[in-house]
Structure 1
Amino acid sequence: MLSFIRRWAAVLLVMGLSACTSIQLEPLPEGMTDQPPADWQDRAAKLGVFDHWQLTGKLAVRQPSDSGTAIINHWIQEGEAYDLALSSSFLGMGSTKLKGVPGFIELKLSNGEVYQSGDPDALMEAATGWQLPLESLIWWIRGLPAPAGDFRLLFDDRGELAIIRQDGWEIRYDRWHELQGNTPALPARITALKEKKRVRVVVSNWQDLTP
């Protein structure tokens, strides 16, 4: 049953990747194309069902009001549920833990205070001052557009995904991890830009947790 659900989810994802491209078109950067390579639908389908994983790495946020970095002690994704543990001395954040599913988040600060909200992005900003598009980042970190919202994909001359433009953000990919097995290459570094905001994630390690 689980494999059937994943295959069906992959089909829906591929349909969405073909349809949700109605954002305003801008001139292509030099060396880029918006024509996907022949294997893109297969890669996207495999990434779409790669939804049980763990990564470690580093997060850096720069915005007009402040900037800072955090160690990603772990980011565990189990389907739609995420468990994210950050460590940072920035603004006294210390150890910050985030757990949630789409439309709900629980955030626990180093002083033991716990906050819950149906708006993950707003709670993250209120508690830490950081503007992080968490629910979109869950998709962008795998090299996929988020299911909600229009997007545009740009590929380099090698057929690698180079840029996703979605919801006013431009997500750039410039390094990849090659994994063993059937999973396509996964991002090693992504940079998400929106106006004067920048979010960068450097992934040191990916781990497949597929049951």
Structure 2
Amino acid sequence: MVVALAMTGCATIRQEPLPAGLTEQPPANWADRQASLQRFDQWQLAGKLAVRQPGESASAVINQWFQDSEQYQLALSSSFLGMGSTRLEGSPGFITLELPDGETYSSSDPQGLIYAATGWELPIDALVWWVRGLPSPEGDFRLAFDPQGDLAQIEQAGWTIRYERWQDFVDGQPSLPARLTARKGEKLVRLVVSSWQSRRDN
């Protein structure tokens, strides 16, 4: 089923040449790895986020990103969404955003609300999946693997997500992304993870 889904996902993505050394042929353990990462849906991480859009750029410290199945909570600080601390809480198709001045906004269009507040395109619903090294279940995708069999790239929803470093953060889980960059034209989102842990036993 996973293989069939992957093949279906790849079907309608425009077939641009892959970077040298990458292949669409998944390693033998990809189905098991994908299933393990899909089950890993209660976690928390900390790190840094950088967003670059035409004419401006900003960065933020991810103090905490809590994920509980489809529910997420992000506590950010620094220049992201203005000065001070910002909170994002949501699930697929809904988000609440609390700005540093205490103003709170909710929307059934998470990406649209973030764009309205900042002018930046941040695909938060898909990022919940990409950050684990998985394509989002919403929409077609194309995967590419490096010579070591690690996932190197996802193409989805007009974005190209490149995985630049993997690390063994959590005992009993496959390696997880430590650094990834998502690019869509001149828009770029970079995420660097400094710590990651399971929340199932918390």
Settle same-fold status: TM greater than 0.5. Answer: yes
Q: Cα offset for 1:66?
A: 1.2
Task: Indicate conservation of the 8 Å contact 1:57/1:203, yes or no.
Answer: yes
Q: Cα offset for 1:91?
A: 6.1
The residue aligned with 2:8 is 19
- 1:70 is the counterpart of 2:60: yes
Task: Indicate conservation of the 8 Å contact 2:81/2:117, yes or no.
Answer: no
1:62 corresponds to which letter in structure 2? R
TM-score normalised by the chain length of structure 1? 0.91
Q: Structure 1 runs of 4+ off > 2 angstroms?
A: 13-19, 89-93, 179-182
The residue aligned with 1:174 is 164
The residue aligned with 1:202 is 192
5+ residue gaps in structure 2? Answer: none
2:144 corresponds to which letter in structure 1? L
Task: Indicate conservation of the 8 Å contact 2:169/2:195, yes or no.
Answer: no
Cα distance in 2 for residues equivalent to 1:104 and 1:24 = 30
TM-score normalised by the chain length of structure 2? 0.94
- 1:183 is the counterpart of 2:173: yes
Q: Cα offset for 1:210?
A: 1.9
SS of alignment partner, residue 92 of structure 1: coil
Task: Indicate conservation of the 8 Å contact 1:93/1:128, yes or no.
Answer: no
2:136 corresponds to which letter in structure 1? A
- 1:109 is the counterpart of 2:122: no
- Structure 1 counterpart of 2:82, from 92, 96, 99: 92
Q: Cα offset for 1:90?
A: 5.1
5+ residue gaps in structure 1? Answer: 1-10
Q: Cα offset for 1:180?
A: 4.2
Higher helix share: 1
Aligned-pair identity in percent equals 58
The residue aligned with 1:35 is 25
The residue aligned with 1:162 is 152
Cα distance in 2 for residues equivalent to 1:180 and 1:80 = 20
2:185 corresponds to which letter in structure 1? E
User: Deviations for 1:21-52, whole angstroms, at most 9, x for unmatched residues?
Assistant: 11121112110100000000000000011100
The residue aligned with 2:71 is 81
- Structure 2 counterpart of 1:152, from 135, 138, 142: 142
2:8 corresponds to which letter in structure 1? A
User: Deviations for 1:159-206, whole angstroms, at most 9, x for unmatched residues?
Assistant: 110000111100000111213432110000000000000000000000
